[in-house]
Amino acid sequence: MRARPGFAALALRLTGSHMKIGFIGLGNMGHGMARNLLKAGHQVLVYNRTRSRAEALAPDGAQVADSPAAACAAEAVVTMLADDAAVESVVFGGGGVLSALGRGGIHISMSTISVAFSDRLAETHRNAGHGYVAAPVFGRPDAAAAGQLVVIAAGPEQEVRRCEPLFDAVGQKTFYIGEKPSSANLVKLSGNFLIASVLESLGEAFALVRKGGIDPHRYVEILTGTLFSAPVYKIYGSIIADQKYEPAGFKMALGLKDVRLALAAADALAVPMPVASVVRDHFLAGLAQGEGDSDWAGLARLCARNAGL
């Protein structure tokens, strides 16, 4: 099954029904996603550790929850958080999602988390009588704000279908991967590994041509107008040509986290990923040099520095 963009939203308009959704995690991505749920007419309870981020959505109609448990007074609760530890805290911690979500409610994990932790969430929610859907997304904060994310969803088909109105509100397209939730996390991690490897390759290539005296903006125009017309080259090629790594759309520290998770998944499946190991080491070098809060395209700045630029 692949959800048709806009179909569920149309169904909502025809029936006049909307979902009641809890949304936990209002960072660079989550804030825009929650706002788009509100724009689509859903009732949204928002929680963020920094309360001001949640309160900023109140003028849009959001109800501010005082705790993760309070955000679970809904038919579905979304977590959009930085890593396994952050999700574990709001799910398994005192007054967390696991204890507060009603029987039959669905936890939709849209964070980029490990395959192993996603499997643990699926089993725990199943034992508690909850639904669990993994639905990580591809896209930067500007895509989140515009409702143009790509959703990768996996879980029991009936539960995923229940979540389609939500996916239609935040994304341009939803791909259904299968019944096993962690399959979506594996696809997401493999995709982020590919983006990271593209960033490393672009960084090395830009360092080479810049040192040879070639204008980087002209270079990216040539690349994206011929062999490499995909959005990842256009978006990140421009960032690298402009050397605009702050503010970060996606931090280098998070890029390192995702490559590590991809390597952990590869280790569990006995899949060698030598390029991922190289990229991990370069991310580590970036963090050691104080670049952890820079955009992960800042790998190119490290490549330039290594080339004496």
Give me the phi and psi of 48, to 5 degrees please: -145, 145
Q: Provide CB contacts within 8 A for 221, sequence distance 6+.
A: none
Backbone angles phi, psi at 170, to 5 degrees: -105, -15
Report the distance separating Cα 78 and Cα 65, nearest Å: 13
User: Can you list the positions of beta strands (E) in 40-122?
Assistant: 43-47, 63-64, 76-79, 106-109
Pairing assessment for the beta strands 137-138 and 149-154 based on DSSP bridges: antiparallel
Residue type at 162 in one-letter notation: R
Q: Residue 308 region, left (φ>0) first, then alpha (ψ -120 to 50), else beta?
A: left
Which residues, in sequence order, are bridge partners of residue 133?
108
Distance CA 230, CA 55 (A): 37
C-alpha of 167 from chain center:
13
**Residues that are catalytic:** 188
The residue count of the chain comes to 309
Task: Tell me: cis bond preceding 5? Omega within 30 of 0 counts.
Answer: no
